Structure 1
Amino acid sequence: MNKFAFIGAGSFIFTRNLVRDLLTFPAFQDCELALMDINPERLDKITQVVKKIVKAMNVPAKIVPTLSRAEALEGADGVVCTVFNGDIDIWRYDIEVPKEFGVDINVGDTRSISGIFRAIRNIPLMLDICRDIEKYCPKAVFLNYTNPMAMLCKAMQTYSKVEVTGLCHSVQGTAAMLAEWIGAPEEEITYLCAGVNHQAFYLKFQWNGEDAYPRLRKVLENSEYYQKEIVRNEMFTHLDYYVTESSGHNSEYNQWFRKRPDLIEKYCTHGTNWNPGEYAFSLNFRLEREKTWRDDFNKWIREEEVDTKRSNEYAANIFNARIGDGVPFLFNGNVLNHGAISNLPYEACVEVPVVASRQGIQTTTVGALPAHLAILVNTTASLENLVVEAAMEGDRRKVFQAVCMDPLTSAVCSLQEIKEMTDRLFEINRDYLPDFKW
């Protein structure tokens, strides 16, 4: 019987979907599901959700809710993590303070100054979890869903011995979206996608072995489709390769779309494929969700029918390849580069095709990114390396210098303004950053 530990199990969507996916595999139908969260109320709700899933799927899985991370991890074969350090009470300042300086952040969980501060708050937490895994379940496969993905995975893969990779649904999700746009069955689409998390590009996108990019260009001549993802479609129009993560995210990863109010209005407010509009996952949305999450849980528990069909998330397939029936599984994972992409930093965390099997998680070799994409992605990868270095050294100066190199921040602010903004956020985050030099 396998044991799976869900650290941060109170994450409604992820835990619900990943439990269901696991139970679709015969090897895991009698598994133990250790649900761990520090919020007793969320833990109780997600336990009710998982009980409903287990009952609907008619499997003998065992459910063990706990507030103890050690108890959840003891003897685990697989670990899934969705936790983060600093809830809305601190995260909101990652958005609000930069906006005072003209840096208009949208999501703020991956890049720009917001993603940098989220990283330095969460790197110590993730390394603590890794140390617990080394102690309680050293052979476990650890799959991380917490953002900022690349910086957290870079820290864990460099400073722990845990078998860990990071997962994001943007690669397969975008491929499915583009397949729908061009009228292709998803199963007939193949692709080569590489870069860094949320900034990977489809270097090849094919339908039955033929280049599908000409079809996509034709589709985007229709304004209805162009408006669905304005930022990403604009990037594709000019850069010739489609990027993985949504327009709402990508608008804050570069210097082109959010440096002036008129650009935000033109590119970012109406067409991010989110509903309603750009701010669907922004601060206001999350503040509202704090008021409604109980209702969301209760409604699902009372009324919703359990969908027993496996989703397109990677996690369960990876666990099955590693510790289930052993069928190898190809996916895009977050791993240390080590030459997989020849023109990105060797020690950066990249998102490339990897294969999970009984032998472990093995990275494939992509080669070089197109030169213009390499310039863009190198900035991101090098900046993320510097942030991890700063977090491990507790060096405020290096954090500031990393923010200076952020494309959006540097497009809006002077160096002195960046210094003042960074200092403000350090003071606000003081209690979350005890390892930094003050």
Structure 2
Amino acid sequence: DAYPLIRKAVLEREEIYNEEIVRNEMFLHLDYYVTESSGHNSEYNWWFRKRPDLIEKYCTHSTGWNPGEYAYILKEYLRREHSWKQDVEAWFAKKEPMDLKRGHEYAAYIIAALQGGEIFQFNGNVANKGYIPNLPQDACVEIPVFADRRGFNGTHVGALPPQCAALNAVSIAVEEMAVEAAITGNPRLVFQAIAYDPLTAAMLSLAEIKEMVHAMFQKSREYLPQFKSTEV
């Protein structure tokens, strides 16, 4: 079990803590390390973005990729807006031989396994179907999967620790409502899904969320033809 070593490093080595501040805070308090980046995790829960001082403390000074800074990736895109074409042209101008060796992307290995080649194990997204019994059965979960000529074979993971299951269950509930709302064209269910989003709920009242969702529908109406009404 490497967790005691990770905890020791996070607590004692400032450069490790600062690399992923949000993820490290979640690990120190929830006892398990989350997979998503600090920036995304700061948006997925109640703890890091509901006050300016918290954003400054947890989401501004991390040294890793996407610390949670507002519009971080948009700024990255804008930074390269006028240089990416030159970068590509410079790469081709080198006229170096193309490396045609198989890379580490999963697709080729999965396809080969499905066609009868060597069995390939990877972490894949599948319908739960009992793999993690304390999460909803129709949720999409990421688990160890074996690909072979029979198809995709998931691995039973078992129940998550309760604090981890709770973290996942909140997101799953919001996502299931949002998907059903999109399929059925139910604008009120969109509002209700957003009302249960942790960060939104930490910042706004129900009435404020309803007003916000209505404004979003009005602004995006032409792109949402499945919704016959935008009243929430």
The TM-score, its normalising length taken from structure 2, stands at 0.89
Alpha-carbon deviation of 1:259?
0.8
Residue in 2 that maps onto 1:355: 146
Higher alpha-carbon deviation: 281-290 or 220-229:
281-290
Unaligned runs of 5+ in 2: none
Cα RMSD for the two superposed structures: 2.2
Residue in 1 that maps onto 2:61: 270
Alpha-carbon deviation of 1:356?
0.9
Higher alpha-carbon deviation: 287-296 or 394-403:
287-296
Alpha-carbon deviation of 1:311?
4.4
SS of 1:399's equivalent? Answer: helix
Residue in 1 that maps onto 2:6: 216
The answer as to whether partners of 1:279 and 1:285 remain within 8 angstroms in 2 is: no
Q: Measured at CA, do residues 280 and 408 of structure 1 come closer, stay the same or move farther in structure 2, by a change above 3 Å?
A: closer
Q: Measured at CA, do residues 407 and 312 of structure 1 come closer, stay the same or move farther in structure 2, by a change above 3 Å?
A: farther
- The structure with the largest strand share of the pair is 1
1:283 corresponds to which of 74, 81, 93: 74
How many Å separate the matches in 1 of 2:30 and 2:122?
Answer: 25
Alpha-carbon deviation of 1:376?
1.3
Letter in 2 for 1:352: I
Q: Measured at CA, do residues 402 and 318 of structure 1 come closer, stay the same or move farther in structure 2, by a change above 3 Å?
A: same
Letter in 2 for 1:355: F
The TM-score, its normalising length taken from structure 1, stands at 0.49
The equivalences for 1:156-175 within 5 A come to none
Alpha-carbon deviation of 1:264?
0.8
Alpha-carbon deviation of 1:254?
0.7
How many Å separate the matches in 2 of 1:313 and 1:281?
Answer: 26
How many Å separate the matches in 1 of 2:158 and 2:176?
Answer: 20
Residue in 2 that maps onto 1:433: 224
The answer as to whether partners of 1:271 and 1:278 remain within 8 angstroms in 2 is: no
Alpha-carbon deviation of 1:285?
2.7
Residue in 2 that maps onto 1:294: 85
2:105 corresponds to which of 308, 313, 317: 313
How many Å separate the matches in 1 of 2:110 and 2:27?
Answer: 31
Unaligned runs of 5+ in 1: 1-210
Work out the percentage of aligned pairs sharing the same amino acid: 59
Q: Measured at CA, do residues 285 and 344 of structure 1 come closer, stay the same or move farther in structure 2, by a change above 3 Å?
A: same
Higher RCO, 1 or 2 (CA under 8 Å, sep at least 6)?
A: 1
SS of 1:344's equivalent? Answer: coil
How many Å separate the matches in 2 of 1:270 and 1:392?
Answer: 40
Alpha-carbon deviation of 1:420?
1.6
The answer as to whether partners of 2:50 and 2:203 remain within 8 angstroms in 1 is: yes
Higher alpha-carbon deviation: 378-387 or 422-431:
422-431
Alpha-carbon deviation of 1:302?
2.2
Alpha-carbon deviation of 1:290?
4.4
Alpha-carbon deviation of 1:214?
1.6
How many Å separate the matches in 1 of 2:68 and 2:101?
Answer: 29
How many Å separate the matches in 1 of 2:207 and 2:6?
Answer: 44
Structure 1 residues 41-82: Cα deviation after superposition (integer angstroms, max 9, x where no partner): xxxxxxxxxxxxxxxxxxxxxxxxxxxxxxxxxxxxxxxxxx
Letter in 1 for 2:212: M
Letter in 1 for 2:60: T
Structure 1 residues 349-388: Cα deviation after superposition (integer angstroms, max 9, x where no partner): 1111111111111121111110111111111112111111
Structure 1 residues 143-166: Cα deviation after superposition (integer angstroms, max 9, x where no partner): xxxxxxxxxxxxxxxxxxxxxxxx
Alpha-carbon deviation of 1:322?
1.4
